[in-house]
Chains A and B, each alone.
Chain A
């Protein structure tokens, strides 16, 4: 019984609680670009859901066979195969959708949602769970896209359900609902590029308000949203990178496996390094003294510079000698 409940949870968490668009903030490119009308949004959502479900199933079936190092390219090949399939299906049966989605249909292959779910869920869970997860996430994605497309279409175009039914022009014209006032004076900016950003911002603000009311914390664009997060070589997120030195993963693993030095060994190592440095400074200082010959043409100034250089070298040698005395 518990297994069944958790399966239902897997199915429904993608719809509201962990909606990929609005809560997890994945897949922002198609969300902004294809929601100029509700139909385009829904079409994009259905196409992406199909790819998500199929690739989740196939990847969870092949999870044990794929070696760990080449898993990302393998997943990409599987996903790209399904995307090519969807491209041809849409081109054959829904030409207006194909024209309006444009370049975003083949770009489903790099959609963060699909690669991210494959990486984080499908390669660790069974086939049924992965399929349910795909269905849930796909439903959530489609829902969010349709709602956003409906809002943008309503305010930016003054119509509802335009282009919804794949038929000829007359059928579509008879079924489109034109809202009286907005249809004559649409707010065109909402249907264009800036409107996409702004409506998405407004919807996320609404979702954040809901999340804050329930006591959670809204997410930010960070590594959690990147599909490659688990194979990343970075300790901190790229957005917060400053002057942080990033060790390569192999070096990190070697460091973790190297036998830990005891405290005394560490202290002895530091002391040895300091002594070597002091010796080097002393040698450099003596070399400087030997070569203190400035190339100033004026003899008086040259003599002064030589004296200064010798004095500096002597001071450096003294300091180095002092440090060495400290160590011993």
Chain B
């Protein structure tokens, strides 16, 4: 139990995916302008990460047992892309309300560093199946937390008109992300 708690705490606060490990920056900076889209994107990321780990961890064991571990990259990315496509179709047919709320973000997450990153990290860190699932869940929750906080900061930034001309747009967003990342560094010694 303690192991799972430390994994989640580590993933959410210490090794936060967008702020400390630089995984999933594109959706983090692109979608976090408004709070509800951040929320939707964060929940979609948790969903996809857990599902992708659930599928790719056993497949990696299979690849290992057949001695073709070098196919890891190819197989992982294909499995993730196919899985997300499949889930989007299933959601559209059976839970249309959920599809309307989250389905928009699913293609954006497919070819994204965050999901492939968490799958590869699980293998590299040598987790077993439950630990890998908890790790993926923690990574998603960390992503959600970072996005919600960041969207609040960005909304404040929109009302500010004193930003110098070269810094308007992307650079001031990046600087804000730098400050948030600095704040999250304070959790460094936690785990």
Contact = CB atoms under 8 A, between A and B. Distances in A.
A204 B22 contact: no
A87 interface: yes
Contact of B172 (A201, A238, A242): A201
Contacts of B94: none
Please classify how large the interface on chain B is, using the bins under 10, 10 to 19, 20 to 34, 35 or more. Answer: 35 or more
A278 B77 CA distance: 55
Contact of B22 (A193, A198, A227, A246): A193
A110 B182 contact: no
Interface string B14-46: 000001111111100111011001000100000
B73 A241 contact: no
B187 to A, nearest CB: 12
Most buried by B among A192, A231, A241: A241
B105 interface: yes
A237 B29 CA distance: 13
B171 A112 contact: no
Contacts of B173: 201, 221
Contacts of A72: 81, 111
B112 A110 contact: yes
Contacts, number: 155
Contact of A29 (B22, B33, B72, B166): B22
A32 B74 contact: no
A197 B111 contact: no
The B interface is mostly helix, strand or loop, or mixed, namely helix
A195 B178 contact: yes
Given A81-B74, A194-B181, A110 B116 contact: yes
Contact of A32 (B25, B105, B182, B185): B25
Interface string B158-191: 0000000111111111110111011001000000
A109 B174 contact: no
Contacts of B98: none
Given A106-B120, A228-B108, A29 B174 contact: no
Contacts of A239: 30-31, 33, 37
Interface string B58-100: 0000000000001111100110011000000000000000000
A153 to B, nearest CB: 17
Contact of B72 (A106, A202, A237): A106
Contacts of A193: 19-20, 22, 181, 185
Given A73-B78, A197-B178, A198-B175, 4 more contacts: A84-B71, A84-B74, A103-B124, A196-B22
Interface of A: 25, 28-29, 32-33, 72-73, 76-77, 80-81, 83-84, 87-88, 103, 106-107, 109-110, 112, 115, 189, 192-198, 200-202, 204-206, 208-209, 212, 218-222, 225-228, 231-234, 237-242, 246
